[in-house]
Amino acid sequence: MGSTSPESDVELHTDEALLDPYPRYKTLRKQGAAVWLTQYNMFALSRYKDVREALGSPKIFSSSKGIALNDRVNEALSGPHSGGTLCSDAPRHDILRKIIEKPLTPKALAQLRERITTEAEKHVEKLVAKKSFDVATELSQHLPVTIVSELVGLPEEGRERMLDWAPASFDCFGPINQRMKTALPVLEGMTKYVSQQCVLGKLKQGGWAAMLWEAVDRGEIDPEDCLHLMNDYLVPSLDTTIFATTSAIWLFAKHPEQWDIVRKNPSLIPQAINEAVRLESPIQGFSRVVTQDHEIEGVTLPKGSRALVLYASANRDEQKWDNPEEFNVHNDARGHMGFGFGDHQCVGNNLARLEMRALLAALAKRVKRFELGTVERGLNNMLRGIAKCEVTVH
Ligand code: HEM
């Protein structure tokens, strides 16, 4: 399989590769449109054009056999009622997505805007008064943990554990390495918790999770679908946003001239968020299964083969972006793949943007400079982000 394509034995999930994946992506982009990864037994799509085309063609690049990089997890995500929105194709996907997106539409979020903005202002005021703090834990976690986890509405113990479950789930989506093996029992704990605790009577009334059961009552989904759909709120709603927020502040700390631009003109904040997510995409890539023989630039991807779709590489493709390695808030990065594209484009992106905008706007009013202290990356099979980012603010 893949014998006519360029081949690579690159490993993308060692500590070293996770710390600096970008040179590896660059080599893959140079090698070809579709490169056979001998260490993964799948193709890599690393160029912007091909990533966008694959994500825009869900009938050919299917999610319903899982989007992970190992068979064990993909099999678990492939049952008729498994996998939730992330791991399904139309028509099931469209039914599930309509249910999951109800509290996340711009109209629904308009009701949350004031609460999020007020909370961001209050929290930033407190941190700025402290002068020195860890962006990763003290700043970026606050809104996802206090507001989003409450809106999801799990029983108390679950709310506390969401921050363990999300990164473990993303680790399990990776290849079978030590990180994946360590995370597997945590994921199993989450699955057990969901089946025992995420039931009516235990969930917060009116919360997003409880709303899924209302869809069961209306006959739109089966109870089994409902349990899997819980994962769509539990797994991608916290760490993605936390990592994106920390990366944005880290970039501004490293590029004070960009922070000056935003402070003078806060209307550039939405554009700056796109630019930060482009440059430091929290989700680096997911896989798809090819449903029919499909040719990309002379390489045939056979029916049934798997392709790793590298959003983060597309976001630094020199064929698409001028100066792709540069952080520039004047860049129009709207077409980036950091929130995906097409049918599976991130359903929570408006919420993530709202949270990030509120924090950056509150900081822009109060902080002239971020002085970086200790910075440590958090290593995860599928996520890129910083686990510790100490700053002193001036
Ligand atoms: C900066 C923060 C975030 C980033 C970078 C991000 C990234 C992504 C990406 C790349 C996808 C596409 C997956 C694919 O192509 O298969 C996605 C899908 C998804 N995201 Fe996000 N996400 C973020 C925040 C959120 C939040 C806050 C929520 C929930 C409240 C959320 C829920 C989802 C769900 C449910 C899907 C699956 C949608 C579907 O398959 O139709 N995400 N996200």
> How high is the pLDDT of residue 2?
45
Residue 163 is encoded by which pair of tokens? 């921050």
Domain extent listing, the chain: 7-393
Residue whose CA is closest, atom 41 of ligand 1? 344
Ligand 1 atom at minimum distance from 87 CA? 40
What amino acid occupies position 357? R
- Asked if residue 225 lies in contact with residue 96, where contact means CB atoms within 8 angstroms, the answer is yes
Residue whose CA is closest, atom 7 of ligand 1? 339
What amino acid occupies position 384? R
CA of 240 to the centre of ligand 1 (A): 8
Backbone phi and psi for residue 327, each to the nearest 5 degrees, phi listed first: -95, 110
The pTM of the full predicted model, rounded to 2 decimals, is: 0.96
Which CATH code fits 7-393? 1.10.630.10
> How high is the pLDDT of residue 156?
80
> How high is the pLDDT of residue 155?
85
What does the alpha-carbon distance between residue 279 and residue 327 come to, in Å, rounded to a whole number? 7
> How high is the pLDDT of residue 143?
95
> How high is the pLDDT of residue 227?
85
What does the alpha-carbon distance between residue 100 and residue 94 come to, in Å, rounded to a whole number? 10
Q: Is 287 in the pocket of ligand 1 (CB under 6 A)?
A: no
- Asked if residue 369 lies in contact with residue 256, where contact means CB atoms within 8 angstroms, the answer is yes
- Asked if residue 35 lies in contact with residue 43, where contact means CB atoms within 8 angstroms, the answer is yes
Residue whose CA is closest, atom 42 of ligand 1? 348
Burial environment of residue 54 by CB neighbours within 10 A (0 to 12, 13 to 18, 19 or more): buried
DSSP secondary structure, 61-114, as one string: EE-TT-SSSSHHHHHHT-STT-STTTT--TTHHHHHHHHHTGGGSHHHHHHHHH
Q: Is 276 in the pocket of ligand 1 (CB under 6 A)?
A: no
Mutation pick for ligand 1 pocket among 208, 346, 382 (CB with most ligand atoms within 8 Å): 346
- pLDDT by residue, tens only, the chain of 394 residues: 445 789 999 999 999 999 999 999 999 999 999 999 999 999 999 999 999 999 999 999 999 999 999 999 999 988 777 789 999 999 999 999 999 999 999 999 999 999 999 999 999 999 999 999 999 999 999 999 999 988 999 888 787 888 899 999 999 999 999 999 999 999 999 988 888 888 888 899 999 999 999 999 999 999 888 888 988 998 898 999 999 999 999 999 999 999 999 999 999 999 999 999 999 999 999 999 999 999 999 999 999 999 999 999 999 999 999 999 999 999 999 999 999 999 999 999 999 999 999 999 999 999 999 999 999 999 999 999 999 999 999 9
Q: Is 240 in the pocket of ligand 1 (CB under 6 A)?
A: yes
CA distances from 271 to 141, 322, 357 (A): 22, 16, 10
Length of the chain: 394
What does the alpha-carbon distance between residue 41 and residue 67 come to, in Å, rounded to a whole number? 14
> How high is the pLDDT of residue 162?
87
Residue 287, strand partner residues: 308
Q: Is 244 in the pocket of ligand 1 (CB under 6 A)?
A: yes
> How high is the pLDDT of residue 160?
80
